[in-house]
């Protein structure tokens, strides 16, 4: 194959480098697109990519030095040949370290971003192996089959000899892994970290098998296995452990539970067209009975949102997030959208869909959902000039000092124009979930209600009743 694609004056474009560049850019744009769909920080993808690529390059080079330690000891000048030698397992390990460091630095959920990144990694590897094919590196064993590939000008593979095109087989497997990971992430994922676990498992199995077809002997050996096969065994075990462990945990590692006060929220918008069921009246009477009991037992001890802010800082050492931070911006836009739909529907031009009955056809249901989605998209486009809110986020760290606890916190969101208090939490297990729920109940109790709230059954009263478990 020809590695020199194009030469313009003193500049030569090599196939290997070109494919690596295409892989990196494709991986980046894919991750950015999927981040937006998944509700993750698009701006963080660029930094994440830079850290992962840089750490991956370092890891790939270090692993190459480890596998060729005998040659380096015999000739230390080989260390100066920085452009030669690279081990993909080292790049993967280095990339993992890069992602972890970046997520720790930015206080992002590592598991969510690992799941975001690994399909992109598989895609980049697919292009990278095409680069290997063009350069002739990572070549296969000699073969007498008709599928053999003959190199003529390679600096790495033996020229004039039919070789198994292991690079193209590896590329095809990587593209297949990419497709499987995308489908799994979209349809079958049950917990954060599962996509990453599946990637490690798929890649390690494929790499272990392909090693039998490789012909480049400088990869190193550990007993009867090549270095890559030896590493693949541990990576497979690690991958399946992640897959099943996070499947068992479900979404608890990155769960977000919101308790909304003031605004009805998107959930009630989707349920707006649902016809009342046969037990509606009975449920309504039971609910009213519980509320009357709650009213008689609840004391009217209201506090303003400004007082709540002071309470958060004093009692829980809450940290007020900067207005331009990604978490604040994302939460603000979500709340704006909800408030437009529930409080200022006159700003929308799309009509509200008619309620559905229980015998609605599939076509009618889809039309209803499409109209709801259209209204939500329109609400998202309402400008700040037409509709603005006074929004703040206070973050409570339950275990800020520990590294493991740095990704788990409780956010209290406050909007003063419409007097909204809501909470969202991320937790690791049921015990931590209960701790956060206790804090939320305490905050809502402190916020309290007025006598008027109790008499009229306002949203503030209903939310407090819901939070305290009375509904």
3-state secondary structure of 33: helix
| Pair (364, 298) in one structural domain | yes
Check: CB of residue 128 under 8 Å from CB of residue 213: no
Contact 164, 215 (CB under 8 A): yes
What is the rounded CA–CA span in Å between residue 154 and residue 173? 24
Q: Which of 197, 227, 251 is the last residue of a domain?
A: 251
Do 283 and 399 share a domain, yes or no?
yes
Whether residue 296 sits in one domain with residue 208: no
Please indicate, yes or no, whether residues 377 and 234 belong to a single structural domain of this protein: no
Residues 260, 466: Cα–Cα separation, whole Å: 10
Residue 120 near residue 27, CB atoms below 8 Å: yes
Task: Name the DSSP letter for residue 323.
Answer: T
Residue 2, both tokens: 């020809």
Q: Are residues 283 and 190 in the same domain?
A: no
Distances in whole angstroms, Cα of residue 454 to Cα of each of 209, 263, 302, 450, 458: 69, 18, 11, 7, 7
Stated as kind and residue range, the H or E segment containing 320 is strand 319-320
Fill in the DSSP letter of residue 147. T
Closest CA to 207 of 186, 185, 177, 246: 177
Pairing outcome for strands 391-397 and 221-222: unpaired
The residue segments making up the domain with residue 207 are 4-251
Which among 218, 251, 284 is the end of a domain? 251
Rounded to whole angstroms, the Cα distance separating 259 from 219 reads 55
Q: Are residues 45 and 145 in the same domain?
A: yes
- Secondary element (H or E) of residue 405: none
Note whether 283 and 245 are same-domain residues.
no
Query: pLDDT 10s digit of each residue in the chain, 471 long?
Result: 566 776 777 777 778 888 989 999 999 999 988 887 777 778 888 989 999 889 988 988 888 787 777 777 787 776 666 556 667 778 888 888 998 898 888 878 788 888 999 999 999 999 999 988 988 888 899 998 888 989 888 888 888 889 999 999 999 999 999 999 999 988 888 888 899 999 999 999 999 999 899 887 666 677 788 878 888 899 999 999 988 888 766 544 443 333 333 333 333 333 334 445 556 677 778 888 888 888 888 889 999 999 999 999 999 999 999 988 888 998 899 899 889 988 888 998 888 887 777 677 777 777 888 888 888 889 889 998 899 999 999 999 877 655 454 567 899 999 999 899 998 877 767 788 888 889 999 999 999 999 998 888 888 888 888 888 754
Residue 425, strand partner residues? 257, 410
| 95 contact partners, CB below 8 Å, separation of at least 6 | 52, 53, 55, 56, 59, 121
Six token digits for residue 245: 């462990």
Return the bridge partners of 13, or none: 6
- Whether 127 and 211 map to the same domain: the answer is yes
Q: Give the per-residue pLDDT at 92.
A: 84
Q: What is the pLDDT of residue 373?
A: 83
User: 148, 163, 158, 56: which is closest to 99 by C-alpha?
Assistant: 56
Which residues contact residue 241 at a Cβ distance below 8 angstroms, ignoring those fewer than 6 apart? 197
- The residue among 167, 236, 163, 150 whose CA lies nearest residue 197 is 236
DSSP structural state of residue 142:
B
274 shares its domain with 381: yes
**Predicted model pTM:** 0.54
Both 247 and 279 in one domain: the answer is no
Nearest CA among 453, 447, 370 for reference residue 413:
447
Same domain, 364 and 423: yes
> Looking at the structure, do residues 317 and 182 belong to the same domain, yes or no?
no
Number of domain units in the chain:
2
How is residue 325 annotated by DSSP?
S
Domain's final residue, options 206, 229, 251 = 251
């Amino acid at each position: 194959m020809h590695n020199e694609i194009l030469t313009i004056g003193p500049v030569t474009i090599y196939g290997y480098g070109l494919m690596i560049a295409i892989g990196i850019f494709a991986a980046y744009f894919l991750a950015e697109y999927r981040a937006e769909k998944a509700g993750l920080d698009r701006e963080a993808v660029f930094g994440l990519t830079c850290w992962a690529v840089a750490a991956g390059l370092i890891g790939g080079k270090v692993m190459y030095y480890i596998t060729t330690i005998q040659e380096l000891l015999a000739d230390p000048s080989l260390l100066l040949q920085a452009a030669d030698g690279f081990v993909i397992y080292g790049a993967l390990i280095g990339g993992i370290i890069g992602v972890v460091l970046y997520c720790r630095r930015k206080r992002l959920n590592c598991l969510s971003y690992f799941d975001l990144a690994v399909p992109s990694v598989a895609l980049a590897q697919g292009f990278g192996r095409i680069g290997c094919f063009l350069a002739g590196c990572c070549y296969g064993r000699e073969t007498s089959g008709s599928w053999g590939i003959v190199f003529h000008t390679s600096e790495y593979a033996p020229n004039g000899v039919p070789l198994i095109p292991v690079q193209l087989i590896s590329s095809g497997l990587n593209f297949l892994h990419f497709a499987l990971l995308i489908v799994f992430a979209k349809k079958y994922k049950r917990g954060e970290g599962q996509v990453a676990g599946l990637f490690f498992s798929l890649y390690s199995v494929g790499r272990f098998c392909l090693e039998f077809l490789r012909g480049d002997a400088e990869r190193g050996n550990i007993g009867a296995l090549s270095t890559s096969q030896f590493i693949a065994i541990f990576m497979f075990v690690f991958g399946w452990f992640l897959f099943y462990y996070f499947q068992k945990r479900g979404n608890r590692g990155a769960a977000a539970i919101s308790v909304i006060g003031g605004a009805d929220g998107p959930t009630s918008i989707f349920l707006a067209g649902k016809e009342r069921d046969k037990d509606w009246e009975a449920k309504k009477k039971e609910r009213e009975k519980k509320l009357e009991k709650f009213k008689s037992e609840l004391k009217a001890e209201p506090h303003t949102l400004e007082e709540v802010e002071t309470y958060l800082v004093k009692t829980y050492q809450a940290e007020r997030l900067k207005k331009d931070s990604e978490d604040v911006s994302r939460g603000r836009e979500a709340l704006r959208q909800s408030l437009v739909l529930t409080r200022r529907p006159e700003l929308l031009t799309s009509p509200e869909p008619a309620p559905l009955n229980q015998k609605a056809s599939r076509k009618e249901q889809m039309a209803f959902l499409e109209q709801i989605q259209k209204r939500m998209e329109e609400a998202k486009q309402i400008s700040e000039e037409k509709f603005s809110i006074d929004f703040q986020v206070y973050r409570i760290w339950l275990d800020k000092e520990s590294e493991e606890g740095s990704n788990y916190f409780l956010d209290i969101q406050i909007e003063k124009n419409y007097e909204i208090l809501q909470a969202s939490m991320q937790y690791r297990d049921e015990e931590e979930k209960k701790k956060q729920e206790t804090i939320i109940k305490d905050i809502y109790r402190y916020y309290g209600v007025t006598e008027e709230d109790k008499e009229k059954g306002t949203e503030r009263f209903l939310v407090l009743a819901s939070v305290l478990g009375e509904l």
